[in-house]
Structures are given as structure tokens and as C-alpha cells.
Amino acid sequence: MSATLSLAVLVSGRGSNLQAIIDACRSGRLRAKILAVLSDRIEAEGLRRAEAAGIPTIALAPRGYPSRRAYDEALFARISSFAPELVVLAGFMRVLSAPVVEAWAGRMINIHPSLLPKYPGLQTHRRAIEAGDREHGASVHFVSAEVDAGPVIARVRVPILPGDDPETLAARLLPREHALLTATLALFAERRLEWRPAGIHLDGCILDRPLELGADDRWLPA
């Protein structure tokens, strides 16, 4: 059995995805350890969740840094001090500067509430409804310099139902986001997933399209 996967998790707000990771580690479903939780917002509920779980926290406000890059370098210097194998952006609401992203290429993932490449950016639930889409979802992807545009590892789908508004749709999607993020992390923990310049590899084979998580929390056949 290979060693436990070590993580640093970045949050800006509520931290329900962080909580899902904490719960999955506790239950033994995920062989991972969160070394630290970091936030750009001192008041982030996610920091409180980490404290409650006994995980070291760092709140670093961007104010006072002369540039985005200076802030990002300070934040990632803190992250590096923990030497995590993987950085997880779980509701981290800042765009990271290219040098930092490049330094962590293949070692940083993000969860985004849309079926990427559809709807990068904000207001994804509203945009999916307004477009008349019949389904929506979430994606876990490697972080690249362009926002929400890095290689997609895995996705999960939910239906858009008549009468949905952004709140009802977000509420349907959120538990599926949690399942997607923890299931994807489990693949990393089992050492089955790997980023290579040629593409994402699963079990040593190139992944030619994103994995899809089914309603029963199992990966659908390719």
C-alpha cells in the first residue's frame, strides 16, 4: 500500500467541499491527510471547519501586497512549507498568477460547478438555466494559467428540472460536487491518476475524455 496522499486545501468561503474531504478522510474512504487549510479571507467558514478538525490554518489577506503575483508567491511559500503532494482549490475565489500556476502544474486541482468546458467563471448555475440546458454538473480539473481551462479529470452530471432557479440547481449539484471531489482525490490517493505533459493518465493509460461519476458514486465505464 502506498503512502497517504498529503494535501493543502485553499478556501475562500463556506468550505463544504473541504468538509467533504475531511469527512472522507475520517471515514477511511480517502487515504489522505490535509496538512493545512489556507484562505485569502480571514472570516471564511472553511477556516473554522479546519480548526474544528484540528487542521493547521493560515489566513493571508491580499491587502498590503503590492501585486497579485507578490501575494500569490507569499501564499504559495506558505503552502510549500508544508510540502503537500497536491493542492486543492475548493471554492478558492482568486485567480492565480501564471508563474505560481506553472510552478505547481500537475500538482494543483480545482472543483468548478459546471460541465467544463462550458461556463468557466462565475454564475454557472444561472448561465446553464438561461441557456436552456437540460443538464448541468461539476468538473475537477488541473489548474492552468487560464481560468477554469486546465485539463479536465472528471465530471458529474445533474438534471436541470422545469422551474429550477440558480439556488435549487446549486442545492442539487452541491452534494454531487462533494462526491466528485472525494472520488477524484481517492484516485490520486490510490496512485492511479497522474498528470503528464502528454495528458492525464489513469492506470498508466492516457485519459482521452474526462471520467464521469455515476449516481451511485462509481465511475461510469469509458
Question: Which residues contribute to the site for ligand GRF (CB under 6 A)?
Answer: 11, 13-17, 46, 90-91, 111-113, 138, 177
Could you tell me the smallest distance in angstroms from the CB atom of residue 113 to ligand GRF? 4
**Closer residue to ligand GRF in complex, CB, 18/194:** 18
Give bridge partners of residue 199 from the DSSP assignment. 196
User: Which residue out of 112, 136, 141, 178 is catalytically annotated?
Assistant: 112
CB of 32 to ligand GRF, least distance (A): 16
Closer by beta carbon to ligand GRF, 19 or else 72: 19
Smallest separation (angstroms) from ligand GRF to the CB of 157:
14
Rank residues 77 and 212 by Cβ distance to ligand GRF and give the closer one: 212
The answer to whether the Cα torsion of 74, 78, 84, 86 is positive or negative is negative
Can you tell me the distance from the alpha carbon of 102 to that of 179, in angstroms, rounded to the nearest whole number?
28
Tell me the CA distances in angstroms from 15 to 18, 21, 88, one per residue in order.
Answer: 5, 10, 12
User: What residues contact residue 38 under an 8 Å CB cut-off, 6+ apart?
Assistant: 8, 9, 10, 11, 57, 58, 59, 60, 75, 78, 79
The least CB distance from residue 196 to ligand GRF, in Å, is 25
Q: Please say which residue, 120 or 194, places its beta carbon nearer to ligand GRF.
A: 120
Q: Indicate if the alpha-carbon torsion angle 125, 91, 112, 72 is positive or negative.
A: positive
Q: Name the residue whose CB lies closest to ligand GRF.
A: 91
Sign of CA dihedral 97, 102, 108, 111: positive
**What 3-state DSSP class applies to 173?**
helix
C-alpha cell at 95: 485567480
Is 201 tagged catalytic? no
Q: Which residues are catalytic?
A: 112
